[in-house]
Amino acid sequence: MGSFLTEIKQKRTIEELVEYIKSVYENDTSSYLPALISEGSFIGTEESDFYLKVVLKHKALDINKTWLKGNLQFYLNQDEDIYNSLDLYKIFVHNLIVYRNFKETSVYEINPNLTSNENYSELGVKDLKYVDAIYISGMQQNEVQNVIQYEKKGSDEYLKVSKKFLADYVVHEDSEWTTVYELVIEFEYRNKTNTFEQLDYQNNESAFIDVSTSSGDIMILGSIKVPFIKENRKERAIKVIDLNNHILRNHNPKNYNGDTDEGFVVFSKEAYEALMESYYFYGIEIIDRQDITKSILVDYFPDKIVFFEAEYNKLPDKIKDKIDIYNQKVLYDLNDIISKAMFEMQLNASWGWEKYLEPDKLLASLFRERYFNISTDRNLSFTYPNDLVEFGEFINMIEEISKIRLDRFNQQSAEVIALTKIRDKAYIDELTNASIINLYLKYCYAVNKELREE
């Protein structure tokens, strides 16, 4: 016997039954929402069954009946006289899961009303049971998640739907968008033996229950409004510099807008390598390599990388897992956290913040504006070179893309001579890391100045 049937058979009042079904959703902080449950067999040895499905109801509609939508239905309204027969429940209530015809069989799929989202992508039909699809999270860049989880145990079926996917449509706390649909759980419970001691229930605006009995059999139909509880984002084992008082505090995984509780997350330079696997560095942003329309604000220096906590929270967990260790290695200087440009843009709301960018960030912004496609094709990122080999490769790419070659500059200058040797891999004497970075910044300044004067 399925776990839901087992629990329900222990209930003695309809109130207990309703509260149990509510609790399944009120206490669920996982990543997936139970969307369809089918357990037991009314005509068979179990002599009982339980079926549950999820519908999305417009918040302006009351629940004044049960089963607001027929099971797995998805259709166009066929009423000829819309003024006399207009049924708002047909128009503004939608099954989350519907049927699709596929190779002479019916398979489960997400209601097509919900699949126009650009982050939703179908992969095909899985095991002739359901439409397999993925969702690329808008909050966590490049985080791919299966939309549906399907499980079959004997004759019982369970189908769950990604909460990240649903969050774009359902009313909930901290919603990024204006949403108007609420979750309603619709269920049917049948049993050959009535085990309930009390069958009365006072229907209300959040639940409508219909009970019928016949010759000892009982059938309960219900529609219950439940909250949408987002998945519980775990607190990361990092320290955050609080923006207001500059003291270290624990991570806040719910901070996605920074309006009331902002802070800075600092990483040592070792985090560059992990971030560069998934992002390009341009200006004061990192840009998703898989989707260049997505970016995250970041401040980076030769010895550290700094995120606003709200921006850090947008990183995929797989990236956080790689870089969090480098947060623990930082020697915090609470008086010198972000650059002047970042301060002017984000905290001072200055229109002229770009004039405070360092030379490499200025050149990166120009390349993003003029040569972004060709630059990304050549895997160009504006990060501080670790050695002369990386620096030489950077100079070659800049020359190739911009056509600004070193022979444009004063050939008698010691710095131009050094840059030429680095580009041509002929530099013999090693430079200190500080000297390489200083030369890198001067090179970026000169190229930027030359380009802007053209």
Select the more confidently predicted residue: 85 or 228.
228
> If 0-12 CB within 10 Å is exposed, 13-18 middle and 19+ buried, where does residue 319 land?
buried
Return the closest-CA partner of residue 245 out of 229, 259, 264.
264
**Is residue 144 classed as helix, strand or coil in its secondary structure?**
strand
Give the pLDDT score at 73: 85
At 105-120, the pLDDT tens digits run 999 999 999 998 888 9
Separation CA 267–CA 300 (nearest Å): 9
Distance of CA 102 to the CA centre of its chain: 30
At 371-380, the pLDDT tens digits run 999 999 999 9
Select the more confidently predicted residue: 411 or 75.
411
Cα distances (angstroms) measured from residue 424 to each of 106, 389, 395, 402, 417:
65, 10, 10, 18, 11
Separation CA 419–CA 425 (nearest Å): 10
Lowest mean pLDDT across 203-217, 230-244, 324-338: 324-338
At 140-199, the pLDDT tens digits run 555 778 999 999 999 999 999 999 899 889 987 766 667 889 999 999 999 999 989 999
Contacts of 169 (CB under 8 A, 6+ apart): 56, 114, 179, 181
